[in-house]
Structure 1
Amino acid sequence: MRGRDEVRGGGRSTTIVIVVVVLVLLAFAAWYFLIRDDAPDAVSLDAAIEDVQGDSDNADGTALAGSGGSTSAADLTGEWTVDTESGDFDFDSATGSFVGFRIDEELSGIGSTTAVGRTGDVDGSLTVDGDQITTVDMEVNMDSLTTDESRRDGRARDALKTSEYPTATFALTDPITLPADAVDGDAVSIQANGDLTVAGVTQPVIFDVDAQLVNDTMVIVATTDVLLSDFDIAAPSAPIVLSVADEATVEMQLLMVRG
Structure 2
Amino acid sequence: MAVMTKRWWIIGGIVALVVVAVVAGPWVYGNWIAEDDAPAASVSTEGAQAAEGDIDGQWSVVPGTAPNATAAGYTVHEILNGASVTVVGSTGDVDGSATVQDGKLTAGEVTVEVATIKTDNGRRDGQFTGNVMNTAEFPTATFTIDAPVDLTSVPTDGTTGTVAATGTLTLKGTARPVTVDVEVLRSGSDLIASGAIPVTWTDYGVTPPSLGFVTVDPSGTVDFLVSLQKS
Superposed pair shares fold, TM > 0.5: yes
Partner of 1:81: 60
Could you list the runs of 5+ residues in structure 2 that have no partner in the other structure?
none
3-state SS in 2 of match to 1:15: helix
Partner of 1:258: 230
Partner of 2:190: 217
What is the distance in 1 between the residues matched to 2:163 and 2:90? 23
3-state SS in 2 of match to 1:146: coil
Q: Could you tell me the TM-score, scaled by structure 2's length? A: 0.87
Deviations 1:15-49 (A, max 9, x none): 3355457668976896699x81231123332xx33
What is the distance in 2 between the residues matched to 1:125 and 1:80? 6
Corresponding letter in the other structure for 1:251:
D
Say whether residues 1:193 and 2:193 are aligned partners. no
More helix by share: 1
3-state SS in 2 of match to 1:87: coil
Contact 2:110 2:144 in 1 (8 A): yes
More strand by share: 2
Partner of 2:39: 41
Structure-to-structure mapping, 1:9-158, within 5 angstroms: 9-17=8-16, 19=18, 36-45=34-43, 48-50=44-46, 53=47, 59=48, 61-64=49-52, 75-84=54-63, 86-87=64-65, 95-110=68-83, 112-158=84-130
Aligned residues: 230
Deviations 1:192-228 (A, max 9, x none): 1111111010001112101111112112111110110
Could you list the runs of 5+ residues in structure 1 that have no partner in the other structure?
54-58, 65-70, 89-93
Partner of 2:209: 236
What is the distance in 1 between the residues matched to 2:193 and 2:62? 12
3-state SS in 2 of match to 1:62: coil
What is the distance in 2 between the residues matched to 1:24 and 1:219? 48
Contact 1:179 1:188 in 2 (8 A): no
- Could you tell me how far 1:182 is from its partner in structure 2? 3.8
What is the CA RMSD across the aligned residues, in angstroms? 2.7
